Amino acid sequence: MDLAAKIEAIIFWKGEPVSLKRLAFWLSVTKEEVETALDILEEKLAERGVALLRKDDEVALGTAPALAELMATLTKEELTGELSKASLETLTIILYRGPVSKQEIDYIRGVNAGYILRNLLIRGLVERLENPTARRAYLYKPTFELLSYMGIKRLEDLPDYEAVKEEIKNGELSSEN
């Protein structure tokens, strides 16, 4: 598989901006080789619905600018509608385990939670904090808007909060809870 395809797969898998330096490291190539492969990838994506986004020394995948109006309509519908099952699962993890990293959420849910977290951030239901132990990662915690949305005054008002929190802490939470 060519370098451009490998880079595309990594950027897609990460679901967030990736530095050229990290791509070069992961693929054991030079930064110049990464830049050349990115030019090729950008050409391949030119007539597609996905575009290669570049900012400073990072790249990401996003929707093609020609689809901005369609994406804005869909985003508005999604952000004003009811929360999806995936959003509710993610909120539950943040409520009972937060502050929690995206990596922990991904691990618990078994899928990339990047899009869900972005949606919850835009809705104002979660907030992102710098992670003191990992400079390039963030922690997510519930906002006051989420408490209001749920009709509770504090996290301790959640059903079985202390018991579930303790089970999570001890790694005892089973699928029947």
Residue 109 CA to chain centroid, in angstroms? 12
Report yes or no on 73 lying in a domain. no
Q: Are residues 50 and 90 in the same domain?
A: no
Each residue's pLDDT tens digit, 44-71: 999 899 999 999 899 999 888 888 889 8
Domain ranges, residue 22: 3-66
Each residue's pLDDT tens digit, 120-154: 998 889 999 998 888 888 999 999 888 887 888 88
| The model's pTM | 0.56
Q: Are residues 93 and 158 in the same domain?
A: yes
What are the strands of the beta sheet with 138-142, ordered from one edge? 100-101, 138-142, 126-130
Q: Are residues 26 and 95 in the same domain?
A: no
Exposure string of 108-134, with b = 16+ CB inside 10 Å and e = fewer, is beeebbeebbebbeebebbbeeebeee
What's the CATH code of the domain at 39?
A: 1.10.10.10
